[in-house]
Amino acid sequence: MSNRSARLVLENGLEFTGQHFGATGERVGEVVFNTGMTGYQEVLTDPSYCGQIVTMTYPLIGNYGVNVDNIESRQPYVHGFVVRRLAAEPSHFKSLGNLDDYLRQHGILGISEIDTRQLTKAIRSDGTMKAVLTTENTPVNVLLDKLAQPLMTDQILRVTTPQTYRCPGEGRRVVAIDYGMKSGVVRSLLARRCDVIVVPATASTKEILAWKPEGVMLSNGPGDPLDAPYAIATVKELIQYGVPVFGICLGHQLIGLASGARTEKMRFGHRGANHPVKDLRTGKVYITSQNHGYMVSEDSLRGTDLILTHLNVNDRTVEGMMHRHRPVFCVQYHPEARPGPDDSDELFDEFMRMMDEVGEGRWTAHA
């Protein structure tokens, strides 16, 4: 870890000066916070964080190092990493190195030794903001001018797989559309012996159906779903076709938009591993892993063919839906976890049952 200083400047003028780690330079992004106590490597490699500067609220980060088991994608996609205290000498039997070196190798800027509590409170008060993380001596007024420019809107195209690939299995054929998919999604399908075909976010309905899937998985991903009209159009066609569809996170929002509902940007989003969600069908409450800054508006479900199935216990936001007439359901959170609890892993089993029922002609529409 170097002795070089770093600065984090928010668009509201709030400035933090701390110690640099990882790569050097200057990066602009949307500053957000994650409340997880562990799982920082999964956070770093979650493509849903593309374009964001992530603040960890837990005060000590890096204490168990980095390893090959906690990687969720090809590379880290965050634009910056903010921690209160960085552990320079990690201790864990799986550790292959420290967080400082890991971020440097992947060109990610980090800052430590700042008041992450103050930063989190600022985000909760003023909402998610643009910010710049820098190790340069750039004047603050110049940095604020940079923040006056719009942020990227093509995150999905930056993180999706460049070409189709197959993860073979002996069971049900599932096409997974990669909008920024975590590896945990594929692992959950493979654990159920699925034959998984992963396609790019831009794959057409014709290309998807050419694989003769028994089901389609809509993955998580970054950014505003309205920035992906191509994805909304494809999801709408898949729903009309009648193939079983299971959506998570961004996939959930795309199902909402494709069905006539509306999405909204949240004040500061849900990012962490302890969000309580109630299944309205059973009354059971699950502790869930979440990472999203947009949500489906509950009011906008009126007049659509979507039924509300899950609600967030804390703020009553929409966490799950199902289609009245088609074999389609979705959740806003991450049933594959990584990081977080496995409480909702059974949703993948629900997807398996839906595919079987449709294949055997036993599936019925919901009243």
Q: Which positions are catalytic?
A: 249, 334, 336
Q: Which two structure tokens, joined as six digits, stand for 310?
A: 């899950």
Q: Which two structure tokens, joined as six digits, stand for 71?
A: 């990687």
Q: What Cα–Cα distance (Å) separates residue 5 from each residue in 21, 69, 184, 245, 264? A: 9, 32, 36, 48, 37
Could you give the CA distance from residue 142 to residue 15 in angstroms, rounded to a whole number?
Answer: 13
Could you give the CA distance from residue 253 to residue 189 in angstroms, rounded to a whole number?
Answer: 21
CB 19 within 8 A of CB 315: no
CB 244 within 8 A of CB 348: no
Cβ atoms within 10 Å of 256's Cβ, excluding its own: 28
Q: Please give the backbone phi and psi of residue 33, each rounded to the nearest 5 degrees, phi first.
A: -130, 150
Which residue do the tokens 């959506």 mark? 247
Could you give the CA distance from residue 132 to residue 366 in angstroms, rounded to a whole number?
Answer: 48
Q: Which two structure tokens, joined as six digits, stand for 333?
A: 């959170």
Interacting residues of 155 by C-beta distance below 8 A, sequence separation 6+: 47, 50, 51, 180, 221, 222, 223, 227
Could you give the CA distance from residue 132 to residue 51 in angstroms, rounded to a whole number?
Answer: 11
Cβ atoms within 10 Å of 235's Cβ, excluding its own: 28
Which residue do the tokens 């997880």 mark? 36
Comparing C-alpha atoms, which of 12, 22, 44, 13 is closest to residue 134? 22
CB 334 within 8 A of CB 251: no
Could you give the CA distance from residue 72 to residue 356 in angstroms, rounded to a whole number?
Answer: 29
Q: What residue type is assigned to position 71 of the chain? A: I
